[in-house]
Amino acid sequence: MLEGGRPVEPAARVAVVAAVIKNPWAGKGFVENLTEGIDSVASDLGALLAPRVAAALGAPIEAYGKAAIVGLDGEIEHGSGLIHTLQFGDHFRQAANASTLLPAVEKRAGTGTTFDIPLKHITDATIRSHHQSIEVSFADVPHSDEIMIALAAAAQGRPQQRLRNFGSDYTKEG
């Protein structure tokens, strides 16, 4: 692999795993309280996906992120409710030995949509080398009554990273 005309060593490693579920709120109109559905699904999804993305990466996780893509019969809030809870996210934090918030993308979209999962460092969100994203697309999901939940993990920061440290652009020289 080349980046900027130079070899990337070690090779960049990024893994994505996803699960698709029936949207428990699709077709029900506006549901005021999503708690029951979140409580019945979020932890199980996190427990399913976190060890799988760690195994797929095959290396220690240095950066991570998550996504919820809601089919057209749902609301963005349906996906957000599932992934923005400790019941879901703590499974990934534990698998990655992480302490930072998981960056996320949520959107309502049709089947086959392309989306970018943002990634940040697992213990320090100010480490710029690990601010990156991975583009993802699955041709046959989500259907209008489904939600796709995905996790992404990287074994390193961006290839050929060479930005100043976070906050150093505000210091005065001399």
- Residue 54 belongs to some domain of the structure: yes
Whether the per-residue pLDDT at 172 is higher than 80: the answer is: no
Identity of the amino acid at 83: I
> What average pLDDT does the chain have?
93
**Chain segment 24-78, per-residue pLDDT in tens:** 999 899 999 999 999 999 999 999 999 999 999 999 999 999 999 999 999 999 9
In DSSP terms, which residues pair with 146 in a beta bridge? 22
Are 20 and 111 within 8 A, CB to CB? no
Q: How far is Cα 84 from Cα 63, in angstroms, rounded to an integer? A: 18
CB atoms within 10 A of CB 60: 12
Element (H, E) at 79: helix 76-83
**Domain CATH number, residue 25:** 3.30.1330.110
Identity of the amino acid at 9: E
Domain that includes residue 34, residue range: 10-159
- Residue 97 belongs to some domain of the structure: yes
